[in-house]
Amino acid sequence: MIKVGGRWFTSIALCGLMLGSAGCEEEPPPAPPATPDCSAPPEVSSPDWVPCRLKAMTLEEKVGQLFMTHAYGTSVADADPQMVESNRKDHGLDTAEQLVERYHLGGIIYFTWANNLRAPEQIARLSNGLQEVALRQERAIPLLIATDQEHGVVVRVTEPATQFPGNMALGATQDVETARQAAAITGRELRALGINQNFGTVADVNSNPLNPVIGVRSFGVDPVRVASFTQVQVGAMQGEGTSSTVKHFPGHGDTDVDSHYGLPIINHSRAQFDAVDLPPFVAAIDAKVDAIMSAHIVVPALESSGLPATLSHAIMTDLLRGQLGFQGVVVSDSLSMQGARPYGDQSDARVPVEALKAGVDLLLMPQRIEVAYNAVRDAVNSGEISQERLDEAVGRILTLKQKRGVLAQPLVDLAGLQRVGAAEHLAAADAITERGITLVENEAGVLPLNPEASKVLVTGWGATATATLAQELSRRGRFVERVETGLTPAQAKIDEAVASAARADITVVLVNRVWTSKPQRELVRALQGSNKPVVVVSVREPYDIAHLPDVSTYVATYGYQPVSMKALARVLLGEVNPSGRLPVAIPEEGTASGVLHPVGHGLSYGL
C-alpha cells in the first residue's frame, strides 16, 4: 500500500480514479471534543446528545446497545404458537417485545425464515412496533433495524419490493450508474419499510472461481472496478437515509470454504491483500460508509495467531482503524456461524468478549443472547473490557443512529409504502437487468431465436426459473414445453428432457454450478446429442462453460430470479440486443492460468 498524507491507498491510480484529485489529501485531525453540558437534555440532533446519553446510561443499557439479533414473528407480540416456541428455543423469551425489553437491544435483524417479511404493510407495522417498544424504555433509544438486501442470490424483502439481479450482473453492465440506481431504489424502499440499515453491499473481489459463498454476490474480479461500484452504492444507499454496511472485511473473495460451515484460510500475502482485497474497503471508507462487517476468515499474513479476522485486534483495530482510518461502526458477521466459534463449547461466552476487545462494535446474532450479554457485562465489571472501550463502541452505534435520522424519526408513515415497488422502480430494474445479460458464445448463430423455431423446450435447474422463462416465452407466441430437472437430475429426468427436446425446434437449458454436479453435465451432453440446437444458460456464476465441452451457444445471467429470467426471454427473442460483458475471467478447466474467456468478453447480435 501507499501512504499519502496519513491515509492509505492501494495505488495512486486508485486514489485518482475513485477519490478525485482532492481525495488523496490529508484530512485535518478532528478537534478534541469539548465537555458537553448535560444539565438539560440536548436535542437528538445536537453534538452533545451522544456523550450526554452515554453519561446517563446504565451498564446494562450500554451492553444491550452492542447487540443485534433476530426475533420470530410478524409483530412485536406475535402469539402464534410456532413463533413463541421458536423465540423460546433461541432466546428463552416469547416475543420480540420481551427480547428488546430484557436486553435493551441496539438492533433487530429481519429474515424471511423468522417470519418477519410477509408484506410491506406488515413489515412497516413490525418496524414501528419494535421502535415503540424501544422508545418506552427509560433511555428511549430507537433501534437499528437491518436486513441483508443484497439482491440476486441473497434477498430478504421479496416482491412487491423492487428486485435487482445482484452484484455480478451489475458488474457485467460495466456502468457504475446501474449500481447507483439499484442502491438508491433499494435504500428508498427499505427506509419506507422502517428498515434503516442494509447489510447489502458485498465488497469482496471474487478472485477464486470455486468460491462457494461469494461468487455472484461480488461485482467481479477487478479490484478497481469493484471498488468503484462499492463506492457509489454506499453513497446512494446512505443518500436515501438507509445506513450502508460493506462486507466482508478484510476480503472473503479467495476461498473455497464457506464460513457459515467452516473456517476459511486465505493465504494471500500482504501485498496481495493491498492490491486485490482492500481497494473496495478503502473506497467505501472514503465514501464515509457507516459500517463495515467483519469476515470469519483466517488471514495468516495479517494475523499470525490463527484467529478469525472478527477476533483479531491486528485486523479489526490496527489495520481497519489505524492504517485505513475507518471511524464508523464495525459489525461482526453472524456470531452463530461456524467460522466464529474457535473456542469450542466456550465460544458462546468468549467470542462476543474477544470480538469487542478486537475492535468490533456491533455484535450480530450471538448463538445465545443471554450468555453473550452476561459475558460482556461481566467482562466490563471485571475490567477485562475497559469502560472506555465500551463507551467507544456504544458511542459509535449511537452516532450512526443519529447520523441516519433514526433518533429523530424512528417511526415510518405507512403512506410512504407507495414507494415500495413503484412503477418507475420496476422499470429501472428491468432496464438494468437487461444490460447485464451476457452472450458468451453464439458460434452457430442460434440467437436471437428464429421466429420459425416456434417449439421451445425449457429445461434444467430451477422450478421458479424455468417456469418464469417458459411463461415469458409463451406470452410472446412460442409453444413451450417445460421439464425442470433439478440440481442433480436422475437418469429418468434426463431421458424425459431428451425426449422433449426431440419434439422441440430448440432447447434452452438452465445450469447452476455444473462443476459441483456431474448429472447436470450429463444432462447437457445428452441434450447436445438430440441433433437440435441447444442454448445453455448459466443462472449463477458464469464459469459453467469451462466444464461443458462443445457448447456453442452460451448465455450468462448471473441470477435466477424472475427479473433475470424475464430479461433473458427478451434477449433470447431479440427484443433486447445483449450488451453485458464478463466481470470475471472464465478459466480453462484443468489449468492453473489458462483463460477461456477474459474479463470484458461479450457478444452482441449486430442488429
d(CA 113, CA 210): 27
Reference 63, options 288, 369, 478; nearest CA is 369
| Cα(200)–Cα(457) distance, integer angstroms | 36
The label of the residue with cell 441473497 reads: 154
> Cell numbers at residue 353, please?
468478549
333 catalytic residue (yes or no): yes
Residue 603 has what DSSP assignment?
Answer: B
Check 148, 222, 333, 348 and give the catalytic one: 333
**C-alpha span between 64 and 28 (Å, rounded):** 34
Residue 390 burial class via C-beta count within 10 angstroms: exposed 0-12, middle 13-18, buried 19 and up: buried
Supply the angle between the helices 562-572 and 463-475 in degrees, to the nearest 10.
Answer: 40
Residue 588, number of CB atoms within 10 A of its CB: 13
Q: d(Cα 312, Cα 276) in Å, to the nearest integer? A: 20
Q: What is the DSSP letter of 347?
A: H
CB atoms within 10 A of CB 438: 27
Round to whole Å and give the CA distance between 543 and 513: 8
What's the 3-state SS for 492-525? HHHHHHHHHHHHCCEEEEEECCHHHCHHHHHHHH
Phi-psi region at 120: left, alpha or beta (left = phi > 0; alpha = psi -120 to 50): alpha
Query: How many other CB atoms are found less than 10 A from the CB of residue 2?
Result: 13
**Is the peptide bond preceding residue 250 cis, with omega within 30 degrees of 0?**
yes
SS3 65: helix
**Which residues pair with residue 587 across a beta bridge?**
595
List CB contacts of 232: < 8 A, sequence separation 6 or more.
176, 177, 179, 180, 183
Check if the beta carbon of residue 364 is closer than 8 Å to that of residue 331.
Answer: yes
Catalytic residues: 333
